Structure 1
Amino acid sequence: MRAFEAIQLTAVAPGPRLIVTGAVHGNETCGTAAIRRVLQDIEQQRLAIVAGHVTFVPVANPLAYERGERQGDRNLNRKLSPTGDPQEFEDHVANWLCPLLAGHDVLLDLHSFHTAGEPFVMVGPEDNQGTLEPFGHAALEEALAVRLGVRRIVDGWLGTYAGGVERRRARLSHAGGAALDLDADYGVGTTEYMRRVGGWGFTLECGQHEDSQAPEVAYRAILNTLAHLRLIDAPAPSPAAAVEALRLFEVVDKAHDDDRFSRSWTSFDAVRAGELIGVRHDGTAVHAEADGRIVFPNPGAQAGQEWFYLARPHRRFG
């Protein structure tokens, strides 16, 4: 198993501190390919960091990456925080990665997803002083989100996840259940942790895992981020011409390994209230509670884990 690797470049001129991560999930390799391409550009002097500081992490989870699987012992992008008593491999990753994140201002975390679909970026909440995810850098996120090179922007992750945890608690109150899965903080991943330590950033979903264009989406996003933050000498990227803003509002867990979808769903397929989405192993039908879009449909999800999300249009960017 390889050691943890971070490549850091610091310019003489002051500027923001950016960190770019790939392979937080080991089977999501578009970010790794894009980061290595950017590093090659820098090594061959086609690109130069002229201000600030940039850290590139091509492979955040080396165990999962070497296995070619989503996780090693557990999902690194859930309940992300340092621990004084590491038990699983991802605990050791967190103890290395979290202090690294905390030393930066901005995070670009590069991912891909299970089923076919258009790339999109996930952003944090609007500015608020609530207890779940207080935040004060929404304007900074919004300005860069529309310049990453994708047109679809999604928010509402942690609030929707916390609501799902409450339903999970109610359903499993009579039984055991993994403690992590019953904790609202289980929804905290790289970007949520970044915001908790004073920074801001994005999860960029670059396309389906095997999509040949996903590394190109990731590469363009890195260059646009460097240019927008003025870390390289390049024209400022233009905002997307037609942004589609969506907000997650519901998450539905898989209750049994034999739960199945009614058809092959793709992220952002439209659903109508009452439409059949899937069937539980006991024959119970699962219908959409409201009009919206299905997001992250995962036919391979394990029992007790997220099966799919629902989102609806939001006027935040319009």
Structure 2
Amino acid sequence: MRNARLAVVASVWQVVYGVVHVWWAVDAPQGLARESYFPGGWLPVGIAVVAFAGCGSVAVGAARGLRPAGRYAVAGLNALAGIALCAYSFLFPVMLASILFEDVTADTVTRLLASGSGAVGGVLCLALAARERRAAARACASCGRVHGRSPEHRDERSPAWAYAGAYLAVAGYLARMAVWLDAAIADTWPSAASRANGISVPAMVVFLGLMGLAGTLLPLALAHHWGRVWPAWLGPLAGRPVPRWLVLGPGLFMGGSLAAYFGVAGMSAWARGDIDGPFLTLLLELGGYTLWGIGLLVASASYFTLTKPPCPQHAVGGNGHQRRNSSRSLA
């Protein structure tokens, strides 16, 4: 029932978003600035139609009682629409931050509302996708796990795909740093633009150090056991759980930022010819950042599951089962 209510709200949201973009595609207001790096016109309308189909399928499926295979299909459709909307509207955080430093005009507000509406619509689709997947897998209503198949505590081993994501992120970081190393050897680092902006070399060294941590320690911590439980050599902390968001927060933030800024904006600008430079250099730089971000997001997904708090309902059920068995044996 909760899925159905959320689906109705999400469907209405997608309709409004789509109608506004139909109006803009047919008769765009004079001087309307672009809300996305992607082309406007009918593209957001098409995404809105897919999003409406996904959200509407959840509402219809809730009324008719879809089978698990149908729920998986609906979850996939909503995930696709949610990713498309979020990718199209990924400039929303940038626009939101820019109002702190720029004059707020009617055009700024319009772009902010349009991009924000797309981002909210994408999140609604992703939320419905997650709920439908849980329903299809008959996941626990209390914690979202499929008991017996999902990890129950952080001591369990990360899946192979989490390790693949972590080492993909490290590979992407190394590809990006190969460009920096080439510039350092050629004595073209720091760049002329950095010098003109007055950025000091010590500040850039500190920045490079933080990049190194985010490109090696962070992805490895997301996959390896020592990123979830403090290792033995840390003395008093040994064996204690690592605070979940100490690792997961930077992983999601860095992963999302790199994948969106370089994977979506950077690659789009390169494809349009807006960025000039040697092919190999751009491939290593933009491609490295993109793989780095994607790898972090993949490893973060595993970390998110492995570090969930224990399921109280499952624990109580286990204790109750044990108590019933004990009573029978005494009888």
- Pairwise same-fold verdict (TM > 0.5): no
Q: Which has the larger radius of gyration?
A: 2
| TM-score of the pair, normalised by structure 1 | 0.24
Higher helix fraction: Structure 1 or Structure 2? 2
